[in-house]
Amino acid sequence: MNNKKKKNVKQEQKVLKFKNNLNVANNITGIKIKSLFALVFIILIVLIVRIAYLQFIDGKTLKQKAYNQLFYTQTILPNRGSIRDATGMVLATSYSADNVIVDPAEISEDKKTLIVSTLASMFELNYDEVLEEINNSDSKITLVKNVSKDKVDALETWIKDNKLGNKAIYTEDTIVRYYPYSNLASNVIGFCGTDIQGLSGIEYSWDSVLTGTSGKSTISRDAAKSQIPNTEETYIPAENGYDLTLTIDVNIQSIVEKYLKQAVEDNKCTKGGITIVMDPSTGDILAMASYPDFDLNSPFTPNSYISEGWEDLSTKQRSNLLQRMWNNKCITDTYEPGSVFKTITATVALEENIVGVDTPNKFLCTGAEVVADRTIRCWRARPHGAQSLRDAYNNSCNPSFIQLGRLVGTVNLYKYYEAFGFFGKTGVSLSGEASGIFFDIDKVGPVQLATMSFGQRFTVTPLHIVTAVSAIVNDGILMQPRIVKSITNTDTGETTNIPTTKVRQVVSKNTSETIKSMMQSEVEIGTGKLGLVPGYTVGGKTGTSEPSQSSTDEGYVASFIGIGPVENTKIVVLTCLYDPKGVSHQGGQIAAPVVSKIFSEVLPYLGVSSNNDKSNIHNNTSDSNLY
């Protein structure tokens, strides 16, 4: 009995234990299921959030990536417009070429020696330098630029024969800007960078016209990047840049540069020189030259004037010197014009009827003029004595013009300075043009008025002077300087002429004629005798400006402005020589002969007949100290 009870108890314990194990197992399974559901729910939420992010936030980017994988877009570069001179000669143009690209990451070690030796031989490169460049570069290298077609063909054949594919070495199309005349008008034309974007001169200031607009071609392609047949291709052609025709005449420019270079070198002008030739009736710039110049096809190579010690200069120093080399000093640099400016003072006096041109004994030169607390001396040790305005102009007498300045007065002078455009820019379509720098009118005292009257202690650009004198000899009408004559649409051939612009009437025709007669006598019997041109009636004015006490390192500026012929004037020519260290620093001695030589070739070229009047030819050695 007891045994039976014990047996039943044991059986009940087993059943209870089994039930307890089953309950525990059920509980664990329930937890696992709940955890699994929770995990699935979390994953589902994450997926929903991710899908939402991809759809609504990153959707546009992914769509674009998918589009890029399916479609291939190639940019079509426009042709940059050419620059031509007034006669149609090409001054700047572009052509297609190829660059050789090397990707070091795609070059295996077993092929490196073969590739380097072949490239060095084919393109005349130094083997060690090519090897070093490839070994030390983590990105693609433009190994050779502007490769000719025959060498491109030879390279592609070699790549194919050696089964190198098109990843390690390949060619890339590029556009090259080329200047057929190299140095001619370099500071005016300017140059482009490697991306064929204008960096200086006309190339920069007219860049938006010359550049054009890029086009594009879009095709569908498969995973192998081959075009999918029978799919639509989108093609938007490039709009090529426009051609520019300048007012500059390459023949006149060549004549000007020849004589300017000769003068700068012969007179040891440490800061170079400039010459501008303008047609006064239109404002057209027929020539604009700065010397020293530079090679437009190699603009980052220093010329001989700045190359000394080049390797020892810092990057900043080199950059500053290159910028100076590129500058067009005719418009960017101001200077004190000196006695050339007496033409302006005399013009104002005549226009205001303050003095007659030939009234005798109007002025008195005793060799010096006392102004406030100082004495300003005449350039000549021997006093000029009593003079008319014409005499004072011919003799370039400072004391007489100080007296004239007092008669005219600051208010009158500033009124005409503004009318001639000295306070602002001329409006020529070139970048970097400077404005004149003058004293504020309320700060002009006796000394400032005296120095202004003969062209010192204020600064203007050479283009200011040429433009103003051109206005005087153009019946008193000021024309805006023009250097771009027309624009041609290279796609349609349509040409748009840029009109000449009359700014204002500054002085009367009568004053114009009187000043021209004074300029003629100044050359015939005054300080400008070395500006005479056999067979032609020409006029002019000499100038020699000395540096101020605060800038003695700037040196003298010797200048001469000439007009020819005097009747129906065709051209006005200004030459400035900076810091001459030769036998003379005076404009009448070293600048006047330059303008004379230019006239002797340019006037016949323009069809101006020689009058063969020998009576105007004088002995040019009568005064050895010309001003």
Contacts of 469 (CB under 8 A, 6+ apart): 280, 340, 343, 561, 563, 572, 574
Judged by average pLDDT, the poorest of 118-127, 330-339, 396-405 is: 118-127
The reported pLDDT for the residue numbered 618 is 38
593 pLDDT higher than 90: yes
Mean pLDDT of 1-8: 55
Distance of CA 486 to the CA centre of its chain: 19
CATH 3.60.110.10 applies to domain 73-246: no
- What is the maximal distance between C-alpha atoms in the chain? 170
How far apart (Å, rounded) are the C-alpha atoms in residues 47 and 44?
Answer: 5
The reported pLDDT for the residue numbered 626 is 40
Question: Which of the listed ranges 52-61, 127-136, 508-517 does the model predict with the highest average pLDDT?
Answer: 508-517
**In what helix (H) or strand (E) does residue 45 lie, and over which residues does it extend?**
helix 2-52
pLDDT: which is higher, 454 or 227: 454
Question: Which tokens go with 373?
Answer: 């607390």
Q: How confident is the model at residue 40 (pLDDT cuts 50, 70, 90)?
A: confident
How far apart (Å, rounded) are the C-alpha atoms in residues 224 and 230?
Answer: 17
How far apart (Å, rounded) are the C-alpha atoms in residues 109 and 125?
Answer: 20
What are the pLDDT digits (tens) for 533-586? 999 999 999 999 998 777 778 899 999 999 999 999 999 999 999 999 999 999
Q: How confident is the model at residue 228 (pLDDT cuts 50, 70, 90)?
A: low
Location of each CATH 3.40.710.10 domain in the chain:
331-616
pLDDT: which is higher, 336 or 143: 336
What are the pLDDT digits (tens) for 291-334? 999 999 999 999 999 999 999 999 999 999 999 999 999 999 99
The reported pLDDT for the residue numbered 31 is 77
DSSP 320-345: HHHHHHH--HHHH--B--GGGGHHHH
How far apart (Å, rounded) are the C-alpha atoms in residues 131 and 141?
Answer: 12
Residue 339 among the catalytic residues = yes
How far apart (Å, rounded) are the C-alpha atoms in residues 546 and 548?
Answer: 7
Measuring CA to CA, which residue among 542, 529, 566 is closest to residue 280?
Answer: 566
473 pLDDT higher than 80: yes
Location of each CATH 3.90.1310.10 domain in the chain:
73-246
35 pLDDT higher than 90: no
Residue written as token pair 């810092």 = 314
How far apart (Å, rounded) are the C-alpha atoms in residues 574 and 450?
Answer: 24
How far apart (Å, rounded) are the C-alpha atoms in residues 599 and 252?
Answer: 10
Measuring CA to CA, which residue among 422, 355, 423 is closest to residue 393?
Answer: 355
How far apart (Å, rounded) are the C-alpha atoms in residues 472 and 585?
Answer: 27
Write out the CATH class of domain 331-616: alpha beta
Q: How confident is the model at residue 10 (pLDDT cuts 50, 70, 90)?
A: low
The reported pLDDT for the residue numbered 229 is 60
Mean pLDDT of 366-371: 97
Measuring CA to CA, which residue among 283, 602, 608 is closest to residue 474?
Answer: 283
Percentage of residues of the chain with pLDDT beyond 90: 65
Write down the catalytic residue from 94, 186, 205, 339: 339
Measuring CA to CA, which residue among 542, 544, 539, 543 is closest to residue 555?
Answer: 544
pLDDT: which is higher, 48 or 90: 90
The reported pLDDT for the residue numbered 82 is 97
Question: Which tokens go with 408?
Answer: 């005219």
Contacts of 603 (CB under 8 A, 6+ apart): 533, 536, 564, 565, 570, 571, 610
Measuring CA to CA, which residue among 386, 390, 619, 408 is closest to residue 517?
Answer: 390
Q: How many residues does the chain have?
A: 627
Judged by average pLDDT, the poorest of 95-109, 195-209, 461-475, 582-596 is: 95-109
Residue pair 495/488 in contact (Cβ under 8 Å)? The answer is yes
Q: How confident is the model at residue 136 (pLDDT cuts 50, 70, 90)?
A: confident
How confident is the prediction for the chain on average, in pLDDT?
Answer: 88
The reported pLDDT for the residue numbered 36 is 76
pLDDT: which is higher, 122 or 260: 260
The reported pLDDT for the residue numbered 506 is 98
